[in-house]
Chain A
Amino acid sequence: MSLEWIVKIVSENWQMFLRGAGVTLYISLIGTVVGAIIGLIAGVIRTIPAPEHGVKKWFLLFVNFLLSVYIEFFRGTPMIVQAMVIYYGSALAFGVNIEVMAAALIVVSINTGAYMAEIVRGGIVSVDKGQFEAAQAIGMNHLQTMMNVVLPQVVRNILPATGNQFVINIKDTSVLNVISVSELYFLTKSVAGNNFRYFESFFVACVIYFVMTFAVTRILLYFERRLEGPDNYTMVRGEEMQPAK
């Protein structure tokens, strides 16, 4: 009977499952955060207004070209293949065997970065042009405009997409089992390999994946709501007419 098997598998292997879930969450979280940072940096670079001429113009064009190649390439190939290429390729190219965990973090981060770069660019373009001009008009340069005016709005706007990417990563890190990263799928496979109860073992993994993605979705929703801020403001009157904190 399956249910008994499930109880037995959980009670005997709960530490494995927990460890697998922890590794999966860890890689997904780091990958999403680093990916978002890569995306923000790429977005800022790709929206630098083109200088009229000179070396700067060509340098910027070149950097933008490299960024496009990166984005297109990582969006256009499966992560499972990227993992293999980066893990085995780094050994060939640099003669170093990077640790599987390092390879895993690198793959998920730069893969996420490629998607986030597009999302961030969309977010930057959606901030109304007037605010860019107002920032320029008070003498801000591109970086100051981005840091003080545009990115805070972009970060808020792309939060749902970033959360979505996090959820995708939780699920897609399972492909990292091809380079033997001890995430949830990989450890479940080894549990199932020991007891030959494939359905029951993977059913447990399935529930754990769902709990993780569901919890993450809810938590992010909560933060999105909070970021919207209060609907009201307080008027400042009389003697207390001081800048409020």
Chain B
Amino acid sequence: METVIDIQHLNKSFGTHEVLKDISFSVNKGEVMTIIGSSGSGKSTLLRCINLLEKPSGGEIIYNGENILDDKHDIPTYRRHLGMVFQQFNLFTNHNVLKNCTVGQIKVLGRSKEEAEKVAMKYLKIVGMDQYINAKPKQLSGGQKQRVAIARALSMEPDVLLFDEPTSALDPEMVGEVLKVMKELAMSGLTMLIVTHEMEFAKEVSDRVVFMDKGIIAEEGSPEQIFNNPQQDRTREFLKRTFKVVY
């Protein structure tokens, strides 16, 4: 199996607060991995360390056989191979939907405007937002914004797409439309690393599930194992708490 990103002994501290402790795992090509865990366990920090929005305090991130934490690596060049979808969408408010999906392609990847628009339209169609290319972000609902944000990330044709709780900021009635798009992407063979609180969704789409607790990976396994036959007490407790809250 081809590895896209290999994380080795990753650490992250904010001051004296150790948020990530010796995290190791790898993301394989075409695989959908979900990260679950209670709030404050370090899930967002882990994703942000992977695309270097936070600088890890220690460990290695191997991409294409090289440790990108070496000084010689250019961070923007590395980042264009990773897509990121944020909880708060973070669309560029000065651009319309189409331009949100083309500006990175044109400025970062050097694509022509025509090519960029063609690519953008392809992905906007996939997320069902191709009719809204002229709309500004503030004119869209939360679910629509998040679907545009997904199209923006896809338009860069990244090797792996990172999602940080993509539905947590949405009104309940909009969660479905975003999860539906993500399910389709998962089926299409896209490599995805998803932080989510949507357990049913995680169960359904994941090839592997990582359960994080207090900055460590407490358990990692198939969705079958994690949800139906968890090996760790902590995992069991988390699931018990979560499902009690949800149902």
Residue of B89, B94, B103 most packed against chain A (CB within 10 A): B94
Inter-subunit contact B80/A243 (CB<8 Å): no
List 7 additional A-B contacts (Cβ < 8 Å) besides A131-B93, A134-B84, A134-B91: A131-B92, A133-B53, A134-B86, A153-B93, A156-B94, A233-B96, A235-B131
In the bound complex, CA of A202 to CA of B222 (Å): 86
Inter-subunit contact A137/B53 (CB<8 Å): yes
Q: Which chain B residues lie closer than 8 Å to A1 at the CB level? A: none
Inter-subunit contact B108/A229 (CB<8 Å): no
A15: CB under 8 A from chain B?
A: no
Interface size on A, residues (CB 8 A): 30
Q: Which chain B residues lie closer than 8 Å to A52 at the CB level? A: 55
What are the nearest 7 A-B pairs in CB distance?
Answer: A139-B80, A130-B90, A138-B104, A134-B90, A137-B84, A233-B135, A243-B117
Q: Which chain A residues lie closer than 8 Å to B107 at the CB level? A: 140, 144, 148
Q: Which chain A residues lie closer than 8 Å to B89 at the CB level? A: 130
Q: Nearest residue in B to A153 (C-beta to C-beta)?
A: B94
Inter-subunit contact B79/A138 (CB<8 Å): yes
Partner of B108, one of A140, A153, A237: A140
A97: CB under 8 A from chain B?
A: no
Q: Which chain A residues lie closer than 8 Å to B121 at the CB level? A: 241-243
Shortest C-beta distance, A244 to chain B (Å), equals 6
Partner of A148, one of B103, B109, B117, B136: B103
Inter-subunit contact B156/A139 (CB<8 Å): yes
A135: CB under 8 A from chain B?
A: yes
Q: How would residues 208 to 238 of chain A score, 1 for a CB under 8 Å from any chain B CB and 0 otherwise? A: 0000000000000000000001001111110
Q: Which chain B residues lie closer than 8 Å to A244 at the CB level? A: 98, 133-134
Residues of chain A having any CB pair with chain B under 8 Å:
52, 128, 130-131, 133-141, 144, 148-149, 152-153, 156, 229, 232-237, 241-244
Inter-subunit contact B152/A138 (CB<8 Å): yes
Q: Which chain B residues lie closer than 8 Å to A156 at the CB level? A: 94
Partner of B82, one of A137, A149, A232: A137
B64: CB under 8 A from chain A?
A: no
Q: Report the interface size class on chain B.
A: 35 or more
Give the dominant DSSP class at A's interface: loop
Q: Which chain A residues lie closer than 8 Å to B131 at the CB level? A: 235-237, 241
Q: Which chain A residues lie closer than 8 Å to B53 at the CB level? A: 133, 136-137
Inter-subunit contact A152/B94 (CB<8 Å): yes
B153: CB under 8 A from chain A?
A: yes
B188: CB under 8 A from chain A?
A: no
In the bound complex, CA of A233 to CA of B138 (Å): 11
Which of chain B's residues 59-83 have a Cβ closer than 8 Å to chain A? Answer: 76-77, 79-80, 82-83
Residue of B51, B92, B131, B149 most packed against chain A (CB within 10 A): B92
Inter-subunit contact A243/B91 (CB<8 Å): no
Q: Nearest residue in B to A52 (C-beta to C-beta)?
A: B55
In the bound complex, CA of A170 to CA of B83 (Å): 49
Q: Which chain A residues lie closer than 8 Å to B16 at the CB level? A: none
Q: Nearest residue in A to B135 (C-beta to C-beta)?
A: A233
A-B CB contact pairs (8 Å), 21 listed? A128-B90, A130-B89, A131-B90, A131-B93, A133-B53, A136-B53, A137-B51, A137-B79, A137-B82, A138-B156, A139-B76, A139-B80, A139-B156, A140-B76, A140-B108, A149-B103, A233-B135, A234-B134, A236-B130, A242-B121, A244-B98
